Amino acid sequence: MSTAAVERRAFRETLIVAPPLVLGAAVAYLLATALPDVAGKPWHEDEAVAGLISAQPLGDVLHTVLLDRGGAPLHFVLAHAAFALGGSPETLRWLSLVFALATIPLCYDLARRLAGQFAGLTAAALAATSQLLAIYATFGRMYSLFAFTSTLALDLFVRAVDRPTRGTLGAATAAALVPILVHPFGIFVFGAELAVALWLWRLRALATALLAVPFVLPYLRLPGRYDPDVAMSAPEAALRALAGSAGGFGAGLAAFAVFAMVGAWTLPRRFAALGLVLVAGPAVVLAAFGDKVSPRHLIFVLPVWTTFVGAGLSRMPFRSAVAATALGIALLAPQAVRDPRTSGADVTTAAAWVRAHVRAGDTLYPYSPVFLAALPQASVAKALPRESVALGRLLRRTHTSRTLVALPTGSSWRVIVVPGSFANVPRALARAAPGLHGIARAAALQLYATSTEGTSPHSSSRR
């Protein structure tokens, strides 16, 4: 065999081996950076919502999520199944970590299909260094699952557009529906794909819209549960979601925006249109309604942004050096999103007391990191939300002999035991409030107001 033939064979073998090596390194990097947070980060109230609901029997999980709260059941069902294997609260974070890691190879495949292998490997590396994915890889809610299902939907949609057979179209349609089962904003992913499908296949794609109706119906219970004005304006959240997906804030975002524009220009027009609708459309719609959201609610832009940037970098002169520089920028750029798990309150003592004293027939109020940390023992009790409408709905089918109320005190937590029905909770909080100070007093008064509304016979009609 000639020297030239040997060199060609070595080059081909390198091309075969390189993708698994780069993907493995990207997955290993995210795993190494996120793993300490599984046990090291303090528990957050949002994680308590997922954990305390999911630890209940499956029928109660579905009733609570779909009818009492109004929302997407998939993450709760998966968490319930995970708790069947391991009942500790860290189970929630391990579940998130699995889907975060699985998002990386999907980002690779999406960008590879559209712009080639170099773009795919670059997109995978960008996803692994994403600030948004790094935080929510170990946050015990649905956000890494949302990123995973959105990327899967986009990947299968591109596959169906390239090879529109009955199998690929069926898989793409099913995948497009899954994000709706994960988060209300999954409708943006479905809607963007439907718009492009209508453009390509005209009215033949319209029947697909009818399939989404049963998935959207649970959200009709959602508007009365909470006020959406809880974070930042939609345009700012969208900008930070892009920066958190890859590039970071500041000059890094400006540089990555240039790469993304080049990438969008070079990609097939159908995906460029789909990506631009997903990046800009939600911000426009949400801003029109005056809603305020968090960047994590828009994590579905991550695969689009990494694909745009990866495709742009693949078109640069000396692209390997430019891509390496871009990854360095992404790693060193200022944070675009912040980790919500910043509480310094220690739940250890209060959670240990709950584990030792909780019993069947108790209710836990509200969804609290203390009760989450007390799992699996706390699963024998019924957890209650702080939102008055959802609380009222749950109380109509909940019977209790006593209620454990968790109150933050600054550096720790205090648990108040209220005997009798939940109707006694407002009076107990009113009696306790004068003897409390600072955060504990404010929390008691807030819970008092909510519990009073929740036990009102008219609470179910309030927004």
Identify whether 326 is part of a domain.
yes
Do residues 458 and 385 lie in contact, with contact meaning Cβ atoms separated by under 8 Å? no
360 within a domain of the structure (yes/no): yes
Residue 6 inside a domain? The answer is no
Looking at the structure, tell me whether residues 315 and 408 fall in a common domain: no
User: Bridge-partner residues for 382, per DSSP?
Assistant: 363
One domain, residues 328 and 182: yes
Residue 300 and residue 185 in contact, taking contact as beta carbons nearer than 8 Å = yes
Q: Tell whether 361 and 426 lie within a shared domain.
A: yes
Are residue 235 and residue 360 in the same domain, yes or no? Answer: no
Statement to judge: residues 243 and 323 lie in one domain: yes
Decide which of 332, 366, 392 is a domain's last residue: 332
Q: Are 26 and 125 in contact (CB under 8 A)?
A: yes
> The sheet that has 402-408: what strands, in order across it?
382-383, 362-365, 402-408, 413-419
Looking at residue 462, its amino acid is R
The reply to whether 51 falls in a domain is: no
- Predicted confidence at residue 3, as pLDDT, reads 52
Q: Specify whether 319 is located in the same domain as 427.
A: no
Answer yes or no: do 153 and 26 share one domain. yes
**Residue 255 resides in a domain:** yes
Tally of residues, the chain: 463
Structure tokens at 440: 């504990």
Last residue of a domain, one of 332, 359, 382: 332
89 in helix, strand or coil?
Answer: coil
CA distance 418 to 159: 57
Tell me the C-alpha to C-alpha distance, in Å, between residue 173 and each of 33, 208, 212: 35, 7, 10
Q: Is residue 203 part of a domain?
A: yes
Q: Are residues 320 and 354 in the same domain?
A: no
- Calculate Rg over the CA atoms of the chain: 24
Residue 387: DSSP 8-state: S
Whether residues 24 and 163 share a domain: the answer is: yes
341 is a domain residue: no
pTM of the model: 0.92
CA-closest candidate to residue 372, choices 20, 91, 142, 132: 91
Last residue of a domain, one of 300, 332, 364: 332
DSSP state of 222: S
Digits of tens for pLDDT over the chain (463 positions)? Answer: 555 444 444 444 455 667 889 899 999 999 999 999 999 999 999 999 999 999 999 999 999 999 888 888 999 999 999 999 888 999 999 999 999 999 999 999 999 999 999 999 999 999 999 999 999 999 999 999 999 999 999 999 999 999 999 999 999 999 999 999 999 999 999 999 999 998 888 777 777 778 888 888 878 777 655 554 457 899 999 999 999 999 998 888 999 999 999 999 999 999 999 999 999 999 999 988 888 899 999 999 999 999 999 999 999 999 999 999 999 999 998 999 999 998 889 999 999 999 999 999 999 999 999 999 999 999 999 999 988 888 988 998 888 889 999 999 988 999 999 999 999 999 999 999 898 888 989 988 899 898 888 776 554 433 3
Q: Are residues 153 and 179 in the same domain?
A: yes
What is the pLDDT, as a whole number, of residue 457? 57
Per-residue DSSP letters for 391-450? HHHHHTT---SEEEEEEE-SSSEEEEEEES-GGGHHHHHHHHGGG--HHHHHHHHHHHHH
Distances, alpha carbon 48 to alpha carbons 35, 44, 63, 203, in Å: 20, 7, 18, 44
Both 287 and 326 in a single domain? Answer: yes
CB 277 within 8 A of CB 264: no
Domain boundaries, position 451: 348-461
State the total domains in the chain: 2
Residue 419 within any structural domain of the chain: yes
Q: Which pLDDT score, from 0 to 100, does residue 388 have?
A: 87
Whether 306 and 423 map to the same domain: the answer is no
